[in-house]
Amino acid sequence: MQSGQVKRVETTPFEGQKPGTSGLRKKVKVFTQPHYLQNFVQSTFNALPADKVKGARIVVSGDGRYYSKEAIQIIIKMAAGNGVRSVWVGQNGLLSTPAVSAVIRERVGADGSKASGAFILTASHNPGGPNEDFGIKYNMENGGPAPESITDKIYENTTKIKEYLTVELPDVDIAKVGVTTFSVDGGTFDVDVFDSASDYVKLMKSIFDFGSIRKLLSSPKFTFCYDALHGVAGAYAKRIFVEELGAKESSLLNCVPKEDFGGGHPDPNLTYAKELVARMGLGKSTTQDEPPEFGAAADGDADRNMILGKRFFVTPSDSVAIIAANAVEAIPYFSAGLKGVARSMPTSAALDVVAKHLNLKFFEVPTGWKFFGNLMDAGLCSVCGEESFGTGSDHIREKDGIWAVLAWLSILAYKNKENLGGEKLVSVEDIVRQHWATFGRHYYTRYDYENVDAGAAKELMASLVKLQSSLSEVNQIVKGIHSDVSSVVNADEFEYKDPVDGSISKHQGIRYLFEDGSRLVFRLSGTGSEGATIRLYIEQYEKDPSKIGRESQEALGPLVEVALKLSKMQEFTGRSAPTVIT
């Protein structure tokens, strides 16, 4: 057995190690500065309760992006230095974010104990590679992201750090499944490399009826396509869709995880998932073949999803509403009923209408998955989702890209139960249109202005807040642009009081609420790594069945114009068009 001794290494603080919405994300070049990663990791260990570190077991893995392998070796040695007893690592350092959450909650070691938390190495949907982003975040014992009380403490620690603890040990071969045991200061320390998919696959099989999904996929009329955008979802897609559910291998696109995501932007939306979008018959460069019935994509760490039908895009806001409306019938895990549903504030109100209809508890929370986690821990929420392509349930404490795909496949299987031999299958588009006909439609779009000058973005936001003090002035501007746009009846900055722990989150986005239920929301992104990203969310509710079939960009045109003028977008940012429209 190799042995080592704990070593103290002197260091000095780095500026700007404040975790954002989802951990610390910076360019690889920033992370690879000597001591940079180490400072953050030590600050995290120091922020955690001692018993969650000393003698405990932690998980370290991620989406496999560039610098992950080096980071994993550094963290393993620092874990040993900090008295951690055992580290679990997914094979090749790969674990999707939802799989990490599942591993923390479900996986039991040979000694009968579980993990107390995890370092997840990912910058989610941000590009990877030597000139791109790396990221790290810590998840707690419930499988969810560290709460603000911990991330604030981590940050405070990073500003004062003087030393970190490590042990000089040989690198562990993380490509090979198996346990390596070391002796550290007389005690044992082990690193257990395990199959990245098995815990997660087991959990999915306990939630969904794989038999009925398999039947759907085996119907010659049902065609399927899944794009992992070279993220870690690829490590699960083959196991679940091909091996378990019988999809053809050719249904998988970009399912080999790559350190640089093949040079792409691993974000599942209509702009970045180009290949899938073309295959599904959407966008300009459509392929000649008949598009598949169903398509989906994931982001780098596989917690996000995009759902597509043949030549049809499902907005994430509609997706969660439709899953909630059908969950009890279509998904065995929910057969006893939903405890409640929740969405983030900028997500459309489509879910609200379903909640009202089904008489479900409903919550509107700030952007960021951790807010859902609290509700779930308290047994208040079963299904939740965000406009930012995140959908999930209380089976774990992260959003879950593959879960969302399985949820949709379950709904399709359920709707086609008696119909697999029929003329035509009930399609994704049929399901969405039927939903609109029942509940009304929330036209929805999001404009992103990426990498805007941070000062200019702040000024724009401040000017929007200031404008809120006079609704008559606001309405004068609105009517001056489009007299037929409804009036603003309320305007505020969203503030949230957590019903479980009572904590208050302020400044969570600027809202302009219209008489007819339309909304304009302005928010600064919390996940960028450079400059500021302004997000503009535009929504309009239409109950009249004769008006629910319009093109969404056309239907929202007047409101978009109002939003751009109200915010003086071009004046402040110098941008005449958004970087991305979703």
Helix (H) or strand (E) holding 59: strand 57-62
Using CB distances below 5 to 8 A depending on partner kind, what does residue 299 bind out of Zn ion, ligand G6P, none?
Answer: Zn ion
Closest CA to 424 of 296, 293, 308, 294: 293
Cross-strand pairs, 383 = 341, 393
Using CB distances below 5 to 8 A depending on partner kind, what does residue 386 bind out of Zn ion, ligand G6P, none?
Answer: ligand G6P
Half-sphere exposure of 99 (CA within 13 A, CB side): 32
Q: Is 124 a catalytic residue?
A: yes
Min separation Cβ 316 and Zn ion, Å: 13
* Minimum CB distance to ligand G6P smaller for 255 or for 524: 524
Q: Is 400 in the site for Zn ion (CB under 5 A)?
A: no
d(CA 278, CA 172): 42
Q: What residues between 330 and 359 interact with ligand G6P by CB under 6 A? A: 344
CA dihedral defined by 393, 209, 295, 547, rounded to 10 degrees?
A: -70
- Report whether 59 contacts 104 (CB < 8 A): yes
Using CB distances below 5 to 8 A depending on partner kind, what does residue 139 bind out of Zn ion, ligand G6P, none?
Answer: none
Extract the tokens encoding 280: 């599904």
* Minimum CB distance to ligand G6P smaller for 87 or for 384: 384
Among the residue ranges 86-94, 520-528, 548-556, 565-573, the one whose residues contact ligand G6P (CB under 6 A): 520-528
Min separation Cβ 482 and ligand G6P, Å: 27
Q: Which residues contact 241 (CB under 8 A, 6 or more apart)?
A: 217, 224, 226, 247, 251, 252
Extract the tokens encoding 211: 């038999």
Extract the tokens encoding 477: 């501007």
Half-sphere exposure of 237 (CA within 13 A, CB side): 32
* Minimum CB distance to ligand G6P smaller for 22 or for 573: 22
d(CA 386, CA 370): 12
Q: Which of 124, 212, 518, 529 binds Zn ion (CB under 5 A)?
A: 124
Q: Which residues contact 149 (CB under 8 A, 6 or more apart)?
A: none
The active-site residue, picked from 61, 124, 348, 529, is 124
Using CB distances below 5 to 8 A depending on partner kind, what does residue 527 bind out of Zn ion, ligand G6P, none?
Answer: ligand G6P
Q: Is 529 in the site for ligand G6P (CB under 6 A)?
A: no
Q: Which of 299, 386, 400, 542 binds Zn ion (CB under 5 A)?
A: 299
Extract the tokens encoding 532: 């500021």
- Strands 312-314 and 305-309: what pairing? antiparallel
Q: Is 525 in the site for ligand G6P (CB under 6 A)?
A: yes
d(CA 571, CA 244): 54
d(CA 386, CA 147): 19
Q: Is 527 in the site for ligand G6P (CB under 6 A)?
A: yes
Residue nearest to ligand G6P (CB): 525
* Minimum CB distance to ligand G6P smaller for 73 or for 305: 305
Query: Number of residues in contact with ligand G6P, rule: CB under 6 A?
Result: 14
* Minimum CB distance to Zn ion smaller for 190 or for 301: 301
Q: Which of 192, 199, 267, 301 binds Zn ion (CB under 5 A)?
A: 301
Using CB distances below 5 to 8 A depending on partner kind, what does residue 22 bind out of ligand G6P, Zn ion, none?
Answer: ligand G6P
Contacting residues toward ligand G6P, per CB under 6 A? 21-22, 124, 344, 367-369, 386, 388, 390, 525-527, 535
Contacting residues toward Zn ion, per CB under 5 A? 124, 299, 301, 303-304
